[in-house]
Amino acid sequence: MTILQAIILAIIEGITEFLPVSSTGHMIIGSTIMGIQQDEFVKLFTVAIQFGTILSVVVLYWKRFFQSLDFYLKLLAGFIPAVIAGLLFKDYIDMLLENVLVVGVMLFLGGIVFLFIDRLATTIEDSDGQPLSYRQAFTIGVWQCFAMVPGVSRSAATIIGGMTQGLTRKHAAEFSFFLAVPTMFGATVKSIYDYVKDGGAITGEHYTLFAIGNVVAFVVAIIAIRSFITFLTKHGFGAFGWYRIAIGGIIIALHFAGVSMQMY
């Protein structure tokens, strides 16, 4: 992987991680177009640069992270389902990660859902504003487990989960950002541990790529989060629905056309 390829992947990660469009699907398309050779380090890189996107949430919402212990306990309640599901279904999840068609189909179907999800938002605007309960946080965490199916999108699953719990679009998106911090941090640490445990070596060149990737992902994610909240509040999910349908359709078409696409 070259520095330019690392920068492009980091830009893709920064833009798509917190948008309900599936960063996995976009990484597939980006790496396929660039012809990046798949190896264990590339897999690690695409996970490790999530640290930059995590940091963007902490920086943008730093006051919330110093608010109270209750805030962290609710994040823990939302994080627990993903831990349990990951341990129980790890082998099945790994198998799905090898199926590009699953990504395309989930993007497409998720897009259809997003074309109608704004109707739910109009029925819950008056119910928002109350403190999030532990039950609500845990339920949103259960919804996050659906994102283990590649193409669903962690952001999409948690935002929809939040809206089913009476949160407005904006507040559901913000809790999705917060919940991403422990979830993505845990995934990053585990990926690095597994890589080293399996004998993978991290060279000076690798550290350079990590540093560049995380800085780029951090800056791009800050811009993406601010833009997403503004757009979502004003316009809703319709545009994201059509976009997911288009990207999912492209992946499905390329798959049946015989174009080789490899998962991370």
pLDDT tens per residue, range 74-112: 999 999 999 898 888 777 776 766 677 888 899 999 999
Q: Is residue 66 packed enough to be buried (19+ CB in 10 Å), middle (13-18) or exposed (0-12)? A: exposed
Residue 7 near residue 213, CB atoms below 8 Å: yes
CB-side neighbour CA atoms (13 Å) of 179: 35
Q: For 101-157, what is each residue's pLDDT tens digit?
A: 888 899 999 999 888 887 766 555 544 456 789 999 999 999 999 888 888 888 999
CB-side neighbour CA atoms (13 Å) of 3: 6
- Per-residue burial over 240-264, b = 16 or more CB atoms within 10 Å of its CB, e = otherwise: bbebbbebbeebbebbeeeeebebb
Q: What is the pTM of this model?
A: 0.85
Question: Which residue is it, tokens 């380090």?
Answer: 41
